[in-house]
């Protein structure tokens, strides 16, 4: 660290980085300074050091599929190219048999350990649809974790059932739901949400439903979609809300910053966002995520889905410790035409080995299955 220490001394964020090395996480004012700084490489040196201190030269991944069970949605988010209105010619909803076939095929071919279940806000689906799917997966594929339904999907089911979100979560847990992805957070400030997803749940509701899930023993991921219409203060607020909830519940297993892809979305059509934020911004967000959440949320994902394998390799040296999942069958990001959104486990394992790291295949709860 001697060379790094020397570089830190000359930096405008040296006090923040020195505090991070002492185990003191940056507060809101510090986060804003990090976001405004161009010392991305230096942030990466420090966050990479903190990550290696905890995980060594090792990165994990999960063999999984993403099950986009329906593209029918009434929320009309401007950043989404995936959704279709009810009755649209190319709308779909998978049957229970369809779901079983997809999971079985993926299990037989890839030995998946997780199904990530996400779809649109489909008002014609009652809770039994989800309960039947989760029960079937847990019964027939007991080694496959059920990681599913964003907080906004939970809210939709509660509205369909005229029930509370906590009751819905309790029933879904009983049916086999094991953890919740962080989707629907985007940026946790309502001024941003009013522009990009005005029909989706508020920031307070996202926090409340996650809090309810954690209180029921359902852990989750936290995400941040950056690169739309937010400013640095909005990002600071997002981090602060995640930190506050995690300090209360300790229910987040991982944090995933990912950049908005504008292709084929209303936001691009309306001229709100012309292009994605690119690789340097990804590395900055990964590094800041580690600095802000070190010792609080253990795992930071590399965000290969929107940035590709090469950037994910760099992200693993800038503070990420988990590559993410194989995501066989992903349909949401692929609708933007940004890039191929499928990776086999071999591509991930090779990519991690290429940067001199050991590979740990993990399960839904980040428990190691085997070292490769």
Place of tokens 């997002």: 238
Q: Per DSSP, what are the bridge partners of residue 182?
A: none
Does 18 appear as a known binding residue?
A: no
Predicted pLDDT at 47: 98
Predicted model pTM: 0.90
DSSP 168: H
Secondary structure string (H, E, C) spanning 291-351: HHHCCCCCEEECCHHHHHHHHHHHHCCCCCCEEEECCECCCCHHHHCCCCCCCCHHHHHHH
The sign one gets for the Cα dihedral 187, 222, 257, 9 is: positive
Q: How far apart are the C-alpha atoms of 219 and 43, rounded to whole Å?
A: 29
Predicted pLDDT at 86: 65
Predicted pLDDT at 371: 95
Give SS3 for 201: coil
Predicted pLDDT at 332: 40
235 contact partners, CB below 8 Å, separation of at least 6: 31, 35, 187, 224, 226
Predicted pLDDT at 331: 46
Give the residue extent of every domain in the chain: 59-371
* Phi and psi, residue 25, nearest 5°: -75, 145
Q: How far apart are the C-alpha atoms of 319 and 34, rounded to whole Å?
A: 14
Q: How far apart are the C-alpha atoms of 350 and 296, rounded to whole Å?
A: 30
What string of DSSP letters covers 243-305?
HHHHHHH--EEEEEEEE---TTSHHHHTTS--S---HHHHHHHHHHHHHHHTTTS-EEB--HH
Does 150 appear as a known binding residue?
A: yes
251 contact partners, CB below 8 Å, separation of at least 6: 210, 211, 213, 214, 218, 219, 220, 245
223 close to 256: Cβ distance less than 8 angstroms: yes
CATH of 59-371, one of 3.30.70.20, 3.20.20.70, 1.10.10.10, 3.30.70.240: 3.20.20.70
Task: List the chain residues with pLDDT less than 70.
Answer: 1-5, 74-87, 261-277, 329-342
Predicted pLDDT at 198: 83
Does 335 appear as a known binding residue?
A: no
Count CB-CB contacts under 10 A for residue 54: 14
Does 239 appear as a known binding residue?
A: no
């Amino acid at each position: 660290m001697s060379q790094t220490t020397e570089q830190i001394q000359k930096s405008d964020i040296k006090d923040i980085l020195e505090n991070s090395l002492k185990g003191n996480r940056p507060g809101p004012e510090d986060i804003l300074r990090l976001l405004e700084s161009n010392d991305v490489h230096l942030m990466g040196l420090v966050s990479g050091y903190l990550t290696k201190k905890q995980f060594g030269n090792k990165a994990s991944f999960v063999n999984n599929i993403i099950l986009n069970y329906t593209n029918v949605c009434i929320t009309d988010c401007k950043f989404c190219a995936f959704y279709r209105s009810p009755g649209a010619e190319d709308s779909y909803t998978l049957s229970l048999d369809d779901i079983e076939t997809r999971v079985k095929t993926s299990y037989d071919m890839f030995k998946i350990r997780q199904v990530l279940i996400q779809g649109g806000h489909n008002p014609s689906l009652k809770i039994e649809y989800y309960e039947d799917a989760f029960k079937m997966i847990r019964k027939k594929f007991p080694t496959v974790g059920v990681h599913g339904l964003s907080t906004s999907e939970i809210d939709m089911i509660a509205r369909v059932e005229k029930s509370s979100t906590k009751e819905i979560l309790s029933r879904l847990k009983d049916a086999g739901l094991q953890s919740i992805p962080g989707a629907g957070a985007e940026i946790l400030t309502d001024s941003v949400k009013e522009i990009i997803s005005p029909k989706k749940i508020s920031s307070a509701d996202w926090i409340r439903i996650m809090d309810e899930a954690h209180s029921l023993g359902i852990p989750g991921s936290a995400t941040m979609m950056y690169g739309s219409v937010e400013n640095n203060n909005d990002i600071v607020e997002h981090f602060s809300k995640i930190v506050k909830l995690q300090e209360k519940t300790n229910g987040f297993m991982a944090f995933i910053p990912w950049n908005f892809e504008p292709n084929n979305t209303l936001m691009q059509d309306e001229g709100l966002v012309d292009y994605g934020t690119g690789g340097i911004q990804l590395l900055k967000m990964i590094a800041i995520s580690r600095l802000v959440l070190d010792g609080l949320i253990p795992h930071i994902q590399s965000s290969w889905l929107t940035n590709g394998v090469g950037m994910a390799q760099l992200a693993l040296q800038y503070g990420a410790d988990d590559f993410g999942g194989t995501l066989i069958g992903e349909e949401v990001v692929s609708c933007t035409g940004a890039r191929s959104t499928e990776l086999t486990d071999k591509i991930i394992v090779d990519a991690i080995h290429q940067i001199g790291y050991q590979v740990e295949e993990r399960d839904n709860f980040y428990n190691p299955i085997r070292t490769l």
